[in-house]
Amino acid sequence: MSIDLPNSVEAQLRTLAQQQGRDVRAVVEEAIRLYLEAAAITDVDSNDVAETQTALLAELPPIPDWKANNA
């Protein structure tokens, strides 16, 4: 996969990698991974969460059964 970066960003990444004693590729891969993880976490619509919780609620056993470990 290729990513075209402005020269200034590439220079900053090279400087950062050098300061950290790491390979530029490792720095870029980590940055992309962290970005994707953050995007995945924040790309959740609250309505979707509520709908999913409601759907899963119907699958739970009644509380007395659950407390008695009869579920």
Q: Is the pLDDT of residue 1 over 70?
A: no
CA dist., res. 21 & res. 27, Å (int): 10
Residues 51-61 have pLDDT tens digits of 888 887 777 76
Whole-number pLDDT of residue 17: 92
CA dist., res. 49 & res. 42, Å (int): 12
Q: Look up residue 8 and give its two tokens.
A: 């200034």
- Contact predicate 42/51, CB 8 Å: no
Residues 3-42 have pLDDT tens digits of 787 888 888 989 999 999 999 989 988 988 888 888 777 6
Q: Is the pLDDT of residue 2 over 80?
A: no
pLDDT band with cut points at 50, 70 and 90 for residue 67: low
Helices (H), the chain: 7-20, 24-42, 46-57, 63-67
